[in-house]
Amino acid sequence: MSSVSSFGFRGEALSSLCALSSSLSVSTRTASDALASALEYDRDGAVVSRRSEARSRPGTTVAVAGLFEPLPVRRKEFVRNKKREFAKLVHLVQAYCLVSKGVRYALCFKIVGFYGIYPGFTTIGEFPSI
């Protein structure tokens, strides 16, 4: 294999995220679609909601809420080390940004007591034509 054209989002990753969070949703739109498909999953990975929604740009957004809430001991450890864990997450996403030409990444997070979503960083890139 000389090159990788897509990172893909494998089913194993979605299943693991569902099991480790209280809420997982995916919104995706291709350049040829007028509307995006939005899916919400339960902890077992089953689709609980499916709808169409407006989305200005093609691409995929994966949103995870309540990370480790179903696992109280792991959640406690995660909260105790949240700065270190967040730094590891940022470094991982930055590594993907460095090796991904022409792909736009955005890392956003919600701060307790802050209204809205705080943009951690966004890269400038074009969405690949599929």
How far apart, in Å, are the Cα atoms of 54 and each of 28, 67, 108? 10, 27, 20
Residues 65 and 93 both lie in one domain: no
86 within some domain = yes
pLDDT at 21: 93
Q: Which domain holds residue 92?
A: 81-121
- Between CA 109 and CA 101 the distance in angstroms is 24
Tens digit of pLDDT for each residue in 27-54? 999 999 999 999 999 998 899 999 999 9
Say if residue 55 is in the same domain as residue 89. no
66 and 89 assigned to the same domain: no
Asked, for residue 42, whether it belongs to a domain, the answer is yes
Model pLDDT, residue 126: 52
**Rounded CA separation 104/125 (Å):** 5
67 and 85 co-located in one domain: no
Convert the pLDDT of each residue in 65-98 to its tens digit.
Answer: 888 999 999 999 998 998 898 889 888 888 888 8
- Within-domain flag for 31: yes
Q: Is residue 52 part of a domain?
A: yes
Residues 93 and 116 in one domain: yes
Under 8 Å CB-to-CB from 104, ≥6 apart: which residues? 59, 122, 123, 124, 125, 126, 127
